[in-house]
Amino acid sequence: MKTDAVSLLKADHKKVKALFTQFESAEGRREKKKIVAEALLELKLHAAIEEEIFYAAVRRTVGKELMNEADEEHHVAKVLIAELENMDGRESHYDAKFTVLAENVRHHIKEEESEMLPKAQTMKLNFEKLGAQMAERKQQLLDSGFPPVGEETMVAASGGEGDSPARIADQTGAARG
């Protein structure tokens, strides 16, 4: 298995895309929740190592436009992840929220693989070393947990009020998923 930074990111992408596909054909609530939990953990690990290590290393060369867009896609993903983590899986908008997260991430992966990564690869960077740092950081996060995420604080502070479509649907007694 290749261990350079770009190969690691691509392997992560493959893993989450497979989980998204599994979710689409999953039927039972329990199975869906299990897939969602696995995908959220993968995405959180992936976002952390990208932001802390990879993005930081390639930002200047890749350029502001692509990098800022990637940042915003991470932000949206982190809001949806935080909301999903506060749900029990029976809410009317649970499946829709995960589906939109998956669509956002699929789009993000496409842009990374077609634009950001090829640009980054033109750099004279030690991608093996960067990959080793990323793998090490991932293990550290698994062992000792994640640092605080701003989007989690934001979602928690709104007490569910910020998620207007889901709140209205559940208040008006729309069918729970």
Provide, rounded to whole angstroms, the least separation between the CB of residue 105 and Fe ion. Answer: 8
Please identify, using beta-carbon distances, which residue of 42 and 170 lies nearer to Fe ion: 42
Q: Which H or E element spans position 164? A: helix 164-171
Q: From 42, 81, 62, 48, select the one nearest 163 (Cα to Cα).
A: 81
Residue 113's nearest CA partner among 39, 7, 19 is 7
Residue number with CB closer to Fe ion (4 or 50): 50
Closest to 96 (Cα-Cα) out of 174, 12, 1, 9? 174
Could you tell me the smallest distance in angstroms from the CB atom of residue 12 to Fe ion?
9
In the chain, the amino acid numbered 12 is D
For residue 94, give both structure tokens.
Answer: 């649970």
Q: Which of 12, 40, 43, 50 binds Fe ion (CB under 5 A)?
A: 50
Binding of Fe ion at residue 12 (CB under 5 A)?
A: no
17 token code pair: 């895309």
Binders in 59-98 for Fe ion, by CB under 5 A: none
In the complex with Fe ion, which residue's Cβ is closer, 50 or 83?
50
Nearer to Fe ion, 9 or 169 (CB): 9
- Collect all residues with Cβ–Cβ distance below 8 Å to 81 and sequence separation of at least 6: 40, 43, 44, 101, 151
**What's the DSSP call for residue 175?**
P
- Rounded to whole angstroms, the Cα distance separating 125 from 24 reads 38
Q: Which stretch binds Fe ion (CB under 5 A): 43-51, 83-91, 93-101, 118-126?
A: 43-51
Stretch that binds Fe ion, among 44-52, 119-127, 145-153, 161-169 (CB under 5 A): 44-52
**Between residues 50 and 151, which has the closer beta carbon with respect to Fe ion?**
50
Return the range that interacts with Fe ion (CB under 5 A); candidates 24-32, 46-54, 152-160, 162-170.
Answer: 46-54
Where does this chain bind Fe ion (CB under 5 A)? Answer: 50
